[in-house]
A = this chain, B = another copy of it.
């Protein structure tokens, strides 16, 4: 279950840049770390993500949670087939200031057909979470 990763950080980044150019890895998101049943991503602050008052938009935080879960699954099982988000539940806790956001993903379950994950989103350098998400991914037959 918590076996070693199937892909290294470099392999994950190379795969995402090649297969998902629209994720804008290196521009909108950075994969900072992958490990057994976990991943850490950064959402780079930019004008595109911002709401009036300087806070980061809900859809941008949703995207960070979604991509973090995908990366955690990918690092664990490798690029065998596309895992698909089937459910994502997000709680918005505090208005984030104008700064990069860090999403820490932990896989709660990695089954043959489903993966369940949680993501805690914090402003870089802060302890308190600004948002928290849980989600389910469907893993295609291998």
The interface of chain A, by Cβ under 8 A from chain B, is 1, 19-20, 22, 50-52, 57-60, 62-63, 66, 84-94, 108-109, 113-114, 116, 118, 128-129, 132, 134, 136, 138
Contact = CB atoms under 8 A, between A and B. Distances in A.
Given A57-B22, A63-B59, A84 B91 contact: no
Given A59-B62, A86-B92, A116 B134 contact: no
Nearest to A90: B88
A52 B19 contact: yes
- The interface centre, meaning the residue of A62, A86, A89 with most chain B CB atoms within 10 A of its CB, is A86
Contacts of A86: 91-92, 114, 116, 136
A114 B85 contact: no
B85 A136 contact: no
Closest 9 CB pairs of A and B: A59-B63, A89-B89, A93-B109, A62-B62, A91-B116, A59-B59, A87-B91, A108-B132, A58-B85
Nearest to A132: B108
Contacts of A52: 19-20, 22
Contacts of A109: 91, 93-94, 129
Given A19-B52, A136-B136, A88 B87 contact: no
